[in-house]
Structure 1
Amino acid sequence: MEFFIEPFAASFVFRALIAGCLVAVLCALIGTWVILRRLTFFGDAMSHGMLPGVAIASLLGGNLMIGAGISALIMSGGVVWTARKSTLSQDVSIGLQFITMLSLGVVIVSRSDSQAVDLTAFLFGDILGVRTVDIYLIIAAVLVGALMLWIFHRPFLALTFDERKAHTLNLHPRLTHLIMLILIALATVVSFQIVGTLLVFGLLIGPPATACILAAHTGRIPLIMTLAAALGCAEIYSGLLISWHANTAAGATITLLSAVIFFICLLTKNVISKLNCNA
Structure 2
Amino acid sequence: MDWLLEPFDVSFIQRALIGGFAVALLCAMVGTWVVLRGMAFLGDAMSHGMLPGIAVALLLGGNPVVGAAVSAAAMAFGVSAMSRHRRLTHDTSIGLLFVGMLAAGVIIISRSRSFAVDLTGILFGDILAVKFSDIWLLCGILAATALVAAIFHRPFTALAFDARKAATLGMRPDLAATVLLLLVTAAMAGSFQVVGTLLVFGLLIAPPAAALPWAKSIPAVMGVAAVLGCVSVMVGILLSWHARTAAGATIAATAVALFFISSAIKAAWPLLRQRRCSPAVPTSADTKPAPTT
The TM-score with structure 2 as length reference comes to 0.88
Tell me which residue corresponds to 1:267.
264
The reply to whether residue 194 of structure 1 matches residue 191 of structure 2 is no
Q: How does 1:113-132 map to 2 (within 5 A)?
A: 113-115=112-114, 118-132=118-132
* C-alpha displacement of 1:62: 2.1
Deviation (angstroms), 1:177? 1.0
Query: Can you list the C-alpha shifts for 1:171-204, whole angstroms capped at 9, x where unaligned?
Result: 2211211111121122222222222222222210
Check the 8 A contact 1:77/1:178 in 2, yes or no: no
Q: Which residue of 2 aligns with 1:66?
A: 66
Matched residue, 2:204 = 204
Percentage of identical aligned residues: 52
Q: What letter matches 2:27 in structure 1?
A: C
- For 2:173, the aligned partner's letter is P
Question: Residues of 1 paired with 2:60 and 2:131: CA distance?
Answer: 19
Q: Answer with 1 or 2: which has the greater Rg.
A: 2
Larger RCO (alpha carbons 8 Å, 6+ apart):
1
Alignment check: 8 A CA contact 1:80 1:178 kept: no
Secondary structure, aligned partner of 1:29 = helix
- In the aligned structure 2, how far is the partner of 1:150 from the partner of 1:113? 42
Asked if the contact 2:48/2:98 (under 8 Å) is kept, the reply is yes
Mapped to 2, the partners of 1:87 and 1:194 lie a distance apart of 39
Q: How many residues align?
A: 275
1:78–1:97 Cα contact (<8 Å) kept: yes
Partner of 2:155: 155
Within 5 A, what are the aligned runs for 1:218-237? Answer: 218=216, 220-237=217-234
Report the Cα distance in structure 2 between the residues aligned to 1:66 and 1:144, rounded to whole angstroms.
16
In structure 2, C-alpha distance between the alignment counterparts of 1:213 and 1:125, rounded to whole Å: 30
Report the Cα distance in structure 2 between the residues aligned to 1:168 and 1:209, rounded to whole angstroms.
29
Equivalent pair of 2:28/2:222 in contact (CA under 8 Å) = yes
Q: Distance in 1 between matches of 2:150 and 2:85?
A: 30
Question: Deviation digits for residues 119-143 of structure 1, max 9, x if unmatched?
Answer: 1111211000111111111111101
Which of residues 236, 248, 270 is equivalent to 1:251? 248
- Greater CA drift, 19-28 or 178-187: 178-187
1:273 shift after superposition: 2.2
Q: How do 1:48-87 residues align onto structure 2 when only pairs under 5 Å count?
A: 48-84=48-84, 86=86
Matches within 5 A, 1:5-24: 5-24=5-24
Kindly indicate whether the alpha-carbon contact (under 8 Å) linking 2:59 and 2:112 is maintained by their aligned counterparts in 1. Answer: no
Q: CA deviation at 1:87?
A: 5.2
Contact 2:49 2:101 in 1 (8 A): yes
5+ long unaligned stretches in structure 2: 279-293
Q: Which residue identity is paired with 2:96?
A: L
Aligned AA (2:114): Q
Q: Structure 1 length as normaliser, TM-score?
A: 0.92
Instruction: Name the CA distance, whole Å, in 1 between partners of 2:72 and 2:86.
Output: 21
Query: Over residues 114-172 of structure 1, what are the superposed CA-to-partner deviations in whole Å (9 max), with x where a residue is unaligned?
Result: 22661111121100011111111111110111111111111111111121211112222
Q: How far 1:63 moved relative to its partner? A: 2.2
In structure 2, what is the Cα distance between the partners aligned to 1:60 and 1:141? 24
Per-residue CA shift, 1:79-119, capped at 9, x if unaligned? 22222355533222222221221122122123x14226611
Equivalent residues of 2:122, 2:193 under 8 A apart: yes
| CA drift at 1:71 | 0.7
Aligned partner of residue 199 in structure 2, secondary structure:
coil
Check conservation: 2:127, 2:247, Cα contact below 8 A.
Answer: yes
Distance of aligned partners of 1:42 and 1:154 in 2 relative to their CA distance in 1, 3 Å threshold: same
State the alpha-carbon separation in 2 of the partners of residues 86 and 126 from structure 1.
Answer: 42
The one-letter code sitting in structure 2 at the alignment partner of 1:29 is: M
Question: Quick one: distance in 1 between partners of 2:254 and 2:107?
Answer: 34
SS at structure 2 position matched to 1:198 = helix
- What's the C-alpha RMSD, in Å, of the aligned pairs? 1.7
